[in-house]
Amino acid sequence: MNVQTYNQVCPVIFGLGAAALVGEKAKELGISKALLVTDETLMKSEGYAQVTRSLEAAGIKFVVFTKITPNPKDTEAAAGAEFGKASQVDGVIALGGGSALDAAKAINLLIKNPEPLSQYYFSLDYKPLLPFISLPTTTGTGSEVTIYSVITEESSNAKKVLLIKGALAICDPELTYSLPAGLTATTGLDALAHACESITSKVTTPKSDVLSSWAIQQIFKWLPKAVAEPRNQEAKQAMMLASNFAGMGFSDTCCHIGHAAAHSLGVKFHVAHGLGCAWALPETMKYSAKYVPARAKIVAEAMGIDPAAHSGAELGQAIADRVTGLMKIVKCESIRDKGFSRQDCQSVAGLVLNDACYGFLPHPLTQAEVEDFLGAVYDSYQ
């Protein structure tokens, strides 16, 4: 039997100014007091002011939780849940990038379910959650439309995955206008990695192929302009939609070796997730062209590369060259720029083998092969 599963995690409201609808939509979902999960920097933004004005206008009370870090931790989720329970909230709203959205998902789970969080990794065996609305402020993670919440488990210093659906995503490109150029670049490259790895994953679906291919086209077209012109409406809308579609795509299929490497660099060296994904992507596509060439051809076509003009390893190199070219255009820092050595990269091989995404590699690798892969990641972009 050859069957495939594809889903839509939650409804999406998309468009300029859509954030102003959050109060109305929260009320429709039965929320009367919300836990607003965000970060302290965003609390100073116009986006935060717009969201809170909308909640107040709808008569919805809220309390704010900001004690989360990049690569959010299970202990932070537990603290947020305790705060939410003590505040007697009946809904959760997340405003921020992937860290805020992933943390909010985990917080929501623990508000309604007992600790420890570890019993829920890759499981849907938990009590129903509170209504959850996400408002992304970056164009990269796609967390607003994925079933995943990636959390760092402090006891093991490893990334773990929860399976959690939201009730509603509100995607307003205006919320990304204040995002610094460097973060616009790396989160956009994260979305590119989602799309490329989704197409070449061990698990694929026709829906994911369509969404991911379109996302790749849009990212190559619009990411440079979104980085250079932070208030360019057309570029920001295109990038938010590309991130959203890439998120829908990999929610069905998962990512693989590139994300396993990024997660591992994140937990050991606190590398920002999008940056780690960008570093790993060129070698990820060389690996994919070697082991799943037919799938790599789909990626190549989306990037405007003629697969017929390349054979074998040449196709992987051509895709990698296109990726590194885009990375240079948007001024993505290299691993060496950030002060890491080749040996530092290779030192996370054991973590890669134990990462949740490793199970979605289209072809398994030995630890020695993973070490070679990580060394090549360091070499490929200087």
Question: CA-CA distance, 138 to 191, in Å (whole number)?
Answer: 10
Q: Do both 103 and 198 map to the same domain? A: no
Q: Do both 165 and 298 map to the same domain? A: no
pLDDT at 1 over 70: no
* Cα 248-129-201 angle, rounded to 5 deg: 25
CATH number where 217 lies: 1.20.1090.10
Q: Do both 52 and 154 map to the same domain? A: yes
Q: Does residue 303 lie in a domain region?
A: yes
Q: What is the pLDDT of residue 100?
A: 97
Q: Do both 172 and 187 map to the same domain? A: no
Q: Do both 350 and 238 map to the same domain? A: yes
Whole-model pTM: value is 0.96
Q: Does residue 3 lie in a domain region?
A: no
Structural domain including 108 reads: 12-176
Which tokens sit at 269? 């060296």
Q: What is the DSSP string of 129-181?
A: PPPEEEEESSSS--GGG-SEEEEEETTTTEEEEEE---SEEEE-GGGGTTS-H
Q: Does residue 118 lie in a domain region?
A: yes
Question: HSE (CB half, 13 Å, CA atoms) of 49?
Answer: 4
Judge whether 168 and 29 are in contact, CB under 8 Å: yes
Condensed to tens digits (0 to 9), the pLDDT of residues 170-208 reads 999 999 999 999 999 999 999 999 999 999 999 999 999
Q: Does residue 107 lie in a domain region?
A: yes
- Burial zone of 123 (CB within 10 Å; 0-12 exposed, 13-18 middle, 19+ buried): exposed
Average pLDDT over residues 220-242: 97
Domain end, chosen from 151, 176, 201, is at: 176
Average pLDDT over the chain, rounded to an integer: 96
Domain end, chosen from 149, 176, 203, is at: 176
Q: Does residue 93 lie in a domain region?
A: yes
Confidence of residue 8 (pLDDT cuts 50, 70, 90): confident
Those residues whose C-beta lies under 8 Å from the C-beta of residue 171, and which sit 6 or more positions away, are 12, 13, 14, 15, 18, 135, 136, 144, 240, 241, 244
Confidence of residue 379 (pLDDT cuts 50, 70, 90): very high
Q: Do both 130 and 163 map to the same domain? A: yes
Q: Where are the beta strands (DSSP E) in the chain?
A: 12-14, 33-37, 61-65, 91-96, 132-136, 148-153, 158-163, 168-171
Q: Do both 266 and 246 map to the same domain? A: yes
CB atoms within 10 A of CB 49: 11
Question: CA-CA distance, 350 to 370, in Å (whole number)?
Answer: 9
pLDDT at 352 over 80: yes
Q: Does residue 315 lie in a domain region?
A: yes
Q: In whole angstroms, how large is the CA radius of gyration of the chain?
A: 20
SS3 state at 125: coil
Domain end, chosen from 176, 201, 231, is at: 176
Q: Does residue 221 lie in a domain region?
A: yes
Q: Do both 141 and 230 map to the same domain? A: no
Q: Does residue 187 lie in a domain region?
A: yes
In the chain, how many domains are there?
2
Average pLDDT over residues 227-239: 97
Average pLDDT over residues 346-360: 96
Q: Do both 104 and 239 map to the same domain? A: no
Q: What is the DSSP string of 187-240?
A: HHHHHHHHHHHHHTSSS--HHHHHHHHHHHHHHHHHHHHHHH-TT-HHHHHHHH
Q: Do both 54 and 121 map to the same domain? A: yes
Residue type for position 320: A
Q: Do both 150 and 210 map to the same domain? A: no
Confidence of residue 312 (pLDDT cuts 50, 70, 90): confident
Question: CA-CA distance, 349 to 373, in Å (whole number)?
Answer: 9
Q: Do both 167 and 221 map to the same domain? A: no
Average pLDDT over residues 91-102: 97
Judge whether 162 and 117 are in contact, CB under 8 Å: yes
CATH number where 83 lies: 3.40.50.1970
Which tokens sit at 245? 């579609």
